[in-house]
Amino acid sequence: MSKQLQLPTIGMGMWAYGGGLSPDHTKDDVEVAALQNAFEIGYRHFDTAEMYASGHSEELLGLALKDYERDDFIITSKVNKENLAYDDLLAACDRSLKYLQTSYIDLYLIHWPNPAIPLEESFRALNQLVDSGKIRRIGVSNFDLPLLEHAAALSETPLFGNQVHYSLLFRKPQHDGTLDFCKENDMVITAYWPLKDGSGISAQSSAALNNQVVIEIANRISATPAQVAINWLARQPNVVTIPKSSNEQRQQENLAAGDIVISEEDVDKLDGLAT
């Protein structure tokens, strides 16, 4: 199996599909239909995790994909930080494969670092999973620059990249060197929470939607504020983003965000929004 992998600039995040941290089956049919709508309008990258609804998010993606050609889609999943010991990580990957009803995961990430488990042990398992064909590429998530450098050194295949909170109104990866390191080493930054600022997970995912500069630019070019914020990320080299929606109209708008045209003058205004 080829280890080449290129993510679309805009994919679909799957947090809250199937529940929060615990499974919720009450909307299964609706959410499978939402995923299949996303397939039909052109989404090809879906980002899930064993943490999301304790695996039920993965199950829903597997159900939605069962009548589609698996190789047409890119699946990212993530292993819990509690499961980073060698045997635990191998078992976690097998569970995810079962939930997803697939023989391989395109991109498998360490969801959060765990100082209690040596990274060397985790990568021994990850490297084995690549060798066995169960995963195509290895990545990490929420790693700071020193940890990212360490992970890159331990991965026997080129480390794919780092999934982090990065947005128009939250620029930490720019300031701490993570973005530059990824560019210099041909790695990808996958930006989650593309509409949020740094207020944390409890805040509404709408900071960019309420920003007056974003609103003014959106109105001027007949776009939505969300499209402006997503486009700001998608136009950057080595950056992709994964907005989440189960609403058909918003799915379409998010995917089309990469096609809107923002003037260099307005890009400069957007660049100046966060410091």
Quick count: other Cβ atoms within 10 Å of Cβ 97?
Answer: 20
Quick count: other Cβ atoms within 10 Å of Cβ 138?
Answer: 26
Q: Is the confidence at residue 201, as pLDDT, over 80?
A: no
Architecture of domain 12-199+231-256: Alpha-Beta Barrel (3.20)
Q: Is the confidence at residue 206, as pLDDT, over 90?
A: no
Which residue bears the tokens 């950057």?
236
In contact, 156 and 126? CB cutoff 8 Å: no
What pLDDT shows up at residue 133? 98
Contacts of 165 (CB under 8 A, 6+ apart): 142, 172, 191, 192, 193, 196, 198
Q: Is the confidence at residue 3, as pLDDT, over 70?
A: no
Q: Is the confidence at residue 202, as pLDDT, over 50?
A: no
What is the percent of the chain where pLDDT is above 90?
Answer: 93
Which of helix, strand or coil describes residue 158?
Answer: coil
Amino acid identity, position 44 = R
Tokens for 115, please give them: 């100082």
Q: Any idea what DSSP says for residue 166? A: -
Rounded CA separation 149/35 (Å): 35
Q: What is the pTM of this model?
A: 0.96
Q: Is the confidence at residue 203, as pLDDT, over 60?
A: no
Quick: pLDDT tens for 65-122: 999 999 999 999 999 999 999 999 999 999 999 999 999 999 999 999 999 999 999 9
Contacts of 67 (CB under 8 A, 6+ apart): none
E strands in the chain: 12-13, 45-47, 74-79, 105-110, 135-141, 161-165, 188-192, 239-241
By DSSP bridging, strand 239-241 and strand 188-192 are: parallel
Which residue bears the tokens 């080493």?
185
Rounded CA separation 79/137 (Å): 14
Contacts of 201 (CB under 8 A, 6+ apart): none
What is the percent of the chain where pLDDT is above 70?
Answer: 96
Residues with a catalytic annotation lie at 52
CA angle 161, 154, 116 (to 5 degrees): 95
Q: Is the confidence at residue 198, as pLDDT, over 90?
A: no
